Amino acid sequence: MQLQDILYSQGFGTRRVCAGLAQQGHVRVNGRVCADASERFDAVDGLDFEVMGQAWRFHASAYVLLNKPAGTECSQKPSTWPSIYTLLPAPLRQRPQKGAVQGVQAVGRLDQDTTGMLLLTDDGQFIHRMSSPRHHVPKVYEVALKHPVDDRQVRRLLDGVVLDDDPKPVRAAACEATGELTLRLTLTEGKYHQVKRMLAAVGNRVEGLHRSRIGGLALPPDLPPGGWRWLGPDELALLKP
- Can you list the domains of the chain with their CATH numbers? 3-57 (3.10.290.10), 63-133+217-239 (3.30.70.580), 138-214 (3.30.70.1560)
Q: Which of 86, 96, 97 is nearest to 14 (CA)?
A: 96
What are the per-10-residue average pLDDT scores of the chain (241 residues)?
95 95 96 95 88 95 97 92 96 85 90 97 92 88 97 96 85 96 94 92 97 96 97 93 69
Contact indicator for 184, 142 with CB cutoff of 8 Å: yes
Task: Print burial letters for 28-48: b (CB count within 10 Å at least 16), e (below 16).
Answer: bbeeeebeebeeebeebeebe
Residues recognised as catalytic: 111
Beta bridge partners of 170: 161
Pairing of strands 206-214, 115-121: parallel
- For 105, the 3-state DSSP assignment is strand
Provide long-range contacts, Cβ within 8 A and 24+ apart, for 160-166. Answer: 161/198, 161/201, 161/202, 162/201, 163/191, 163/194, 163/197, 163/198, 163/201, 164/197, 166/191
At 44 the pLDDT is: 85
At 194 the pLDDT is: 93
CA distance 69 to 103: 20
Q: What is the dihedral of CA 92, 94, 95, 99, to 10 degrees?
A: 170
Cβ neighbours of residue 203 closer than 8 Å, sequence gap 6 or more: 147, 153
Residue 4 dihedral angles phi and psi, to the nearest 5°: -65, -30
* C-alpha separations of 26 from 2, 48, 54, 88 in Å: 16, 14, 10, 21
Q: Please state whether 132 falls in left (phi above 0), alpha (psi between -120 and 50) or beta.
A: beta
What's the residue count for the chain? 241
Q: Where are the alpha helices (DSSP H) in 51-193?
A: 90-93, 124-131, 151-159
At 101 the pLDDT is: 66
CA distance 195 to 204: 11
CA distance 131 to 212: 17
Contact indicator for 160, 173 with CB cutoff of 8 Å: no
Quote the pTM value.
0.92
